[in-house]
Amino acid sequence: MEIFKKDDIPAGLLPGDSPFRFSCLAYYYTREDTSGEGENKEEDTITATAGADRIGGILVFALQTFNGRQNTDGESIKPSVSLLCYSLEDKTFRLIDKISNPSGGITCSNLTLDTTGRYAAIDLFQEGPEIKNYVLVYDIDSGEKVDIGSLLEIQDAFRNSVLWSENGLVFCARVEQQSMNYLYKPEMKKAEAF
């Protein structure tokens, strides 16, 4: 089943003349019973019976530009990540954020959605003279983002998302040989160790 092609994405949402690839992808679906016969009991299947179910939801995905490409002025273009959302119901695309860093390129290593489809966590790695990693959490509807590392006392810890629970995002922070797990609650914008 084809959902969309690269050419379906509006040119204004693509990363200019830089070559790119589809990177990480996360999927959240909803199903509405339109038959009037109550809920569909086969919740493990996404196949819709014509006229009985309407399937909706979103695809959140990252477009990663390639490293080392030069623009028309001969200057090197640093890798960047564009985070987009595609509505399965409306068949529309929306830019959530374009992430770049002037001192080095950015690459995406992981992307997950919470159990409601409202929040996305993206793990990023910054190349260049100052190697860092980030975990950003986005409110999909508003585009608001929080760098969860900024909520920690130790700023030079390596961070990565682990999973979404019904309570929030579980993530890990590591310094040297020690690690600590945290729970980030997006509604409160707070991270707590556990």
- List pLDDT tens digits, range 98-152: 998 766 788 899 999 999 999 999 999 987 777 888 999 999 999 999 999 999 9
List, edge to edge, every strand of the sheet that includes 190-193: 158-165, 168-175, 178-185, 190-193
Per the domain annotation, does 6 fall within a domain? no
DSSP 8-class letter at 70: B
Question: How many folded domains does the chain comprise?
Answer: 1
Per the domain annotation, does 186 fall within a domain? yes
**pLDDT tens digits, one per residue of 12-29:** 999 877 789 999 999 998
Q: Give the pTM.
A: 0.82
User: What domain range is 42 assigned to?
Assistant: 17-193
Q: How far apart are CA 178 and CA 14, in angstroms?
A: 40
